[in-house]
A and B are shown apart, each in its own frame.
Chain A
Amino acid sequence: MAAIAEPTTGIKKNYLTAIQEALAEEMARNSDMICLGEDIGILGGAFGCTMGLQDQFGPQRVIDMPISEAAIVGSSVGMALNGKTVMAEMQFIDFISCGFDQIVNMMATYHYRTAGEVAINVTLRGPAGGYGGGALYHSQMNESWFCHSPGLKVVVPSTPYDAKGLLKACLRDPNPCLFYEIKQLYRDSKIAEVIPDEDYIVPLGSAAIRRPGTDLTFVTYGQNVYHCLQAADILAEKGYSAEVIDIRSLVPLDEQTILESIKKTNRVVVVNEAPKTCGYAGELVARINEFAFEHLDAPALRVTRLDTPVPWVQPLELFVLPSVEKIVETATRVLRF
């Protein structure tokens, strides 16, 4: 449901470039926009997402902050309160916990407690996700903390096209948004793609069908989209046709696209890499039960991380995270029900 069709000719761009472009273009079109974060100016960001921005827009609009996530979030809220559009970077999304109170109590509730007087246009973005040997504090997917805090929009793009279009949508949305970047995808050349030169957004709350199918629906986001696509390949060899839905936006959620798919397939498996208990996968399963109640031929199941942190060394890390094998296994169970 992209606003502009994806072009097929031109230079392929990776996920990181898409983010760099979104930030630079929004800074250029919105003179009220400010970027702040740790090492985003002189260095251009730990991963280079803000490379060149300070040279282009100056240190007043691209601020190297002291190492305080609480001050980064709180001062972003103040800037937004006084009319600015703010992009605040978390060097790794894991460190967002150090700014937790400012996010869930100050930022998320602002609109509500002021009876709509104040809208806080802050986008908090940062690298997230496991499968990279980042260990406990450089691998987290902690999106459910924020989905559980009313007033925050939560977005997880899995492609360069979406990364650019969703980031622009967040930066133009009057509400606080959390934007999870999958760091394993930043420089992944396999997913690099041609993206439009002209301005476009991907609207928040619109899911994408990554692969059509008729027998089972995978509902997923982030890098698990690619695991589900691989699982769908394996299932295809066994004669099953699986549809893969990338929800992209967790809050708000595009229930309609999921419902339409389930009407067709009647079976669903939800996949994400966060811990199982109280994770967003559980929320998806519960919602599917509510809105697709009469269309399900089998209970909706989920594949998630075990209820553990993400350990460092590879065998342990892969043991706790969802794998293609685990996804195929669960899908097979649902298909045979």
Chain B
Amino acid sequence: MAITASQTNPPQSNLLPDGEPLPSSQLSKEDHLEILRQLYLARYFDVRLIKEKKRGRLRGTLYSSHNQEAVLVGSLFGLKGTDWISPIHRDMPAFFMKDLRAGWDNNDRIGLTIEQVCCQVWGKQDSPGRARDNWSHIGSKSKRIIHSTSMLAGTIPVAAGVVYADRLNGGDAVVLTYNGEGSTAQGIFHEAINFAAVHKLPVITIVENNHWAYGTPTNLEYSQEDFARRADGYGIPGLIADGQDVFDVYDKVMMAVNHARAGKGPSIIECKTYRAYGHGDHDDDRAANYRPEYDAKATYKDDIEHARRDPIDVCKKKLVSLGFITQADADRHVCEYKSADKTKDEDFPPEVVAYLKRGVEYAVKNPVPPAEEGGMWVFRE
């Protein structure tokens, strides 16, 4: 089933009380402009990392979030700072974009700084995990970001535990967990959501359905046409969001957040999108070979066509139609529909480039942790 705006599935999952307006219709002009800026920032972060990696300045595998930025920005934008998130490998920008709405330079915001995230990417000592584990395997208790391992879907039960405890502590936090569609095949995905559903815990599972799990297409991972239908099996709402449309993601996530905060329990939001490159940068060339044949004959063909719309383009069109920006504004910095290697700094607003520059410069100068740290922190002494 192809995506249409505001479509929900199964039918019980229209989470808007009768007559209530869409959450995105309540966003101000300033909010709209900020959302576009954040999309640019997520894209630029990815482009910059791809370039740094190509120049041999980074170690490890880079899992690009290109073309999936609307899922990150749209889901994070409406959260409170006190809410928790649990990002995975493809969600690197989420670490510094959490609570970014509270101000890019606001030291009190509850998210990691661009410097901290760059230190992690560069393997430096001011990474929140002191570069002990790689890439997305970071987090912060104080910033309310759950620290993932490599084991896919492994943080969902942890997320459930976190919000269970938060409730006992008198909090009203929700938790957003991010997962690829392939990761949903893990038993722990089911076990954790089942627990959360039984206790009506405020656990919102975002499924970033980019239609490929490494070299395996969606139809070999699960047999539902729309993954969101799986929610029905847990007796919780399942929503489908257009993963290219930041405002649709925002709407669906805010419906789920309001539902969860009201004590009505978890939900699953399937965001339909498409992976821009290979699984990781090591896989770009191979992906160009293995994907087209399967995509052409797949049942999800329409979804892929839909996901060819660049989320930045989709957002700009909305802002133009609302009269918040002019076409000339939209055309000032054009990074949409360009691959990383074809993208230049001028294709982004200068404040975005400057923000990242700050992070990169800090990270480059920051030292690697001393070797002895390898033997530390096995136990708390």
A285-312 Cβ-contact flags toward B at 8 Å (1 or 0):
0000000000000000000001111011
Asked whether any CB of chain A lies closer than 8 Å to the CB of B214, the reply is: yes
User: When the two chains form their complex, are residues A319 and B214 in contact, meaning their CB atoms are under 8 A apart?
Assistant: no
A residues near B217, Cβ cutoff 8 Å: 42
B residues near A320, Cβ cutoff 8 Å: 374-375
CA distance in complex: A309, B377 (Å): 10
Q: Which residue of B lies closest to A46 (CB)?
A: B214
CA distance in complex: A311, B375 (Å): 9
CA distance in complex: A38, B375 (Å): 33
User: When the two chains form their complex, are residues B151 and A98 in contact, meaning their CB atoms are under 8 A apart?
Assistant: yes
Asked whether any CB of chain A lies closer than 8 Å to the CB of B371, the reply is: yes
Q: A64-B220, A136-B137 are contacts. A306–B375 as well, Cβ < 8 Å? A: yes
Asked whether any CB of chain B lies closer than 8 Å to the CB of A39, the reply is: yes
B residues near A46, Cβ cutoff 8 Å: 214
Q: A43-B216, A137-B150 are contacts. A313–B368 as well, Cβ < 8 Å? A: yes
User: When the two chains form their complex, are residues B150 and A316 in contact, meaning their CB atoms are under 8 A apart?
Assistant: no
A30-43 Cβ-contact flags toward B at 8 Å (1 or 0):
00000000110111
Q: Which residue of B lies closest to A45 (CB)?
A: B215
CA distance in complex: A314, B186 (Å): 31
CA distance in complex: A308, B378 (Å): 6
User: When the two chains form their complex, are residues A135 and B374 in contact, meaning their CB atoms are under 8 A apart?
Assistant: no
Q: Which of A1-9, A65-73, A243-251, A252-260 makes up part of the contact surface?
A: A65-73
CA distance in complex: A136, B131 (Å): 11
Asked whether any CB of chain B lies closer than 8 Å to the CB of A138, the reply is: yes
B residues near A308, Cβ cutoff 8 Å: 374-375, 378
User: When the two chains form their complex, are residues B290 and A319 in contact, meaning their CB atoms are under 8 A apart?
Assistant: no
A73-93 Cβ-contact flags toward B at 8 Å (1 or 0):
000000000000000000110
User: When the two chains form their complex, are residues A94 and B216 in contact, meaning their CB atoms are under 8 A apart?
Assistant: no
Q: Which of A42, A43, A313 touches B123 (beta carbons < 8 Å)?
A: A313
SS of B interface (majority): loop
SS of A interface (majority): loop
Asked whether any CB of chain B lies closer than 8 Å to the CB of A318, the reply is: yes
A residues near B171, Cβ cutoff 8 Å: none
CA distance in complex: A96, B60 (Å): 21
CA distance in complex: A42, B221 (Å): 13
Total A residues in contact with B, Cβ cutoff 8 Å: 40
Nearest chain A CB to B320 CB, angstrom units: 40
User: When the two chains form their complex, are residues B373 and A316 in contact, meaning their CB atoms are under 8 A apart?
Assistant: yes
Nearest chain A CB to B8 CB, angstrom units: 26
Asked whether any CB of chain A lies closer than 8 Å to the CB of B158, the reply is: no
Asked whether any CB of chain B lies closer than 8 Å to the CB of A97, the reply is: yes
Nearest chain A CB to B124 CB, angstrom units: 8
User: When the two chains form their complex, are residues B133 and A136 in contact, meaning their CB atoms are under 8 A apart?
Assistant: yes
Total B residues in contact with A, Cβ cutoff 8 Å: 38
Which residues of B111-164 are within 8 A (CB) of A?
123, 131-134, 137, 149-152
Q: Which of A66, A313, A315 touches B185 (beta carbons < 8 Å)?
A: A66
CA distance in complex: A258, B180 (Å): 48
Asked whether any CB of chain A lies closer than 8 Å to the CB of B182, the reply is: yes
User: When the two chains form their complex, are residues B151 and A97 in contact, meaning their CB atoms are under 8 A apart?
Assistant: yes
A residues near B222, Cβ cutoff 8 Å: 66
A185-199 Cβ-contact flags toward B at 8 Å (1 or 0):
000000000000000
Q: A67-B182, A137-B151, A311-B374 are contacts. A42–B134 as well, Cβ < 8 Å? A: no
Which residues of B220-243 are within 8 A (CB) of A?
220-222
Q: Which of B133, B185, B187, B215 touches A311 (beta carbons < 8 Å)?
A: B133
Asked whether any CB of chain B lies closer than 8 Å to the CB of A133, the reply is: yes
Asked whether any CB of chain B lies closer than 8 Å to the CB of A95, the reply is: yes
User: When the two chains form their complex, are residues B378 and A307 in contact, meaning their CB atoms are under 8 A apart?
Assistant: yes
CA distance in complex: A269, B188 (Å): 42
Nearest chain B CB to A55 CB, angstrom units: 12
CA distance in complex: A138, B150 (Å): 8
B residues near A68, Cβ cutoff 8 Å: 185-187
Asked whether any CB of chain A lies closer than 8 Å to the CB of B332, the reply is: no
Asked whether any CB of chain B lies closer than 8 Å to the CB of A317, the reply is: yes
Nearest chain B CB to A54 CB, angstrom units: 11
Nearest chain B CB to A312 CB, angstrom units: 4
CA distance in complex: A94, B134 (Å): 15
Nearest chain B CB to A131 CB, angstrom units: 13
User: When the two chains form their complex, are residues A38 and B214 in contact, meaning their CB atoms are under 8 A apart?
Assistant: yes
Q: Can you list 22 A-B pairs, Cβ within 8 angstroms, ordered by A? A: A38-B216, A41-B215, A42-B215, A42-B294, A43-B286, A67-B152, A67-B186, A68-B185, A68-B187, A91-B214, A97-B151, A133-B60, A135-B60, A135-B133, A136-B137, A136-B149, A309-B132, A311-B132, A311-B373, A316-B369, A316-B371, A320-B375
Extra A-B contacts (5), CB below 8 Å, given A38-B214, A64-B220, A312-B132: A39-B216, A67-B186, A133-B60, A137-B137, A311-B133
Q: Give the interface of A toward B (CB within 8 A).
A: 38-39, 41-44, 46, 64-68, 70-71, 91-92, 94-95, 97-98, 133-138, 306-309, 311-320
